[in-house]
Amino acid sequence: MKKNNKLLRIIQWFFEEDVSEESVSNDDTIEIGLIQIVLIILITAIFSVWIFFEPIKGFFNRPQLSTSEYIEKHIEKNYFIIKNPLKNSDFSQGLEHWASSDCGLLFPDSKSVASIDKHDYHSAPSSLKIKCISPANRYHYSKNEKNKVLDNPYSFKQTECWMGILPGREINASIWYKGDIVKFTINYINKSGEWNNLDSVFGSVTNQWSQLKINKKVPLDARAIMIEITVNKAENSPLPVVWIDDINLKTANFEEK
């Protein structure tokens, strides 16, 4: 009984309850009240969280990928493994695969209205018509089908705009346009996530369908490229309207596999 009495004193001190020897039955068992049960469960839960805290913290705080690891994981090695990588390059499917950064976080003041024109085009059945409301306006080819606004198309994390390319390849790109001033650009990023302008060509005001071309070899550190079409406003001129059609992009020295 001395052992049981000692245990009772400990329980009485810990819970500040009146625990008497009467609570000890002849078979040396102790009756535990509701408060004690709740406290035991609470203590057990605290110890369980403490024991498993590190694995839980590790699950929610996974190591962040470095820029090069992110690019390696999320951007394909070579988007041009097919001869014609661009989908809906003639806008026959509306605005699918075309995105704008107008009104995004990077260009909140740039506003435009893009629509499909089925009456004026370079080749049937339609073209992209861009009405500039607040310049400059930017449109990009997207690997995703859905048309949307991009917050920052130049970020290496905006992988839908960046098309993986093998280093050293030559880019052959072109667009047809008519209307006001337009700029056709190919950008590239390296494995460090830094983006640069590979080349840009400008089209002047014209009422006839005209072609802009870019033929350029990408640097050896290039990892992916991006299409950018920019509509801007010339000084002392009204807000521009531009039609775009038949965008072509391929790499030279393509090898059939």
Residue with tokens 């880019």: 171
Quick one: which of 199, 188, 138 has its CA closest to 162? 188
pTM value is 0.74
Helix/strand/coil percent split, the chain, to 5: 20, 35, 45
Task: Read off the pLDDT band of 223 (50, 70, 90).
Answer: very high
Domain spans, the chain: 2-60, 69-251
pLDDT at 17: 47
Which CATH number applies to 69-251?
A: 2.60.120.260
Over the stretch 133-149, which tens digit does the pLDDT of each residue have? Answer: 999 999 999 999 998 99
Give the 3-state secondary structure of residue 172.
strand
Per residue in 40-85, pLDDT (tens digit) is: 777 777 766 666 665 555 555 566 889 999 999 999 988 887 766 8
C-beta separation of 71 from 191 below 8 A: yes
**30 within 8 A of 10, measured Cβ to Cβ:** no
- Can you list the positions of beta strands (E) in the chain? 98-100, 111-117, 127-134, 137-141, 163-164, 170-179, 182-190, 195-203, 206-217, 222-231, 241-251
**Cross-strand partners of 195:** 189
Please report which confidence band the pLDDT of residue 35 belongs to, taking 50, 70 and 90 as the band edges.
confident
Q: Which of 7-16, 28-37, 43-52, 96-105 has the lowest mean pLDDT?
A: 7-16
Q: What percent of the chain has pLDDT over 70?
A: 78
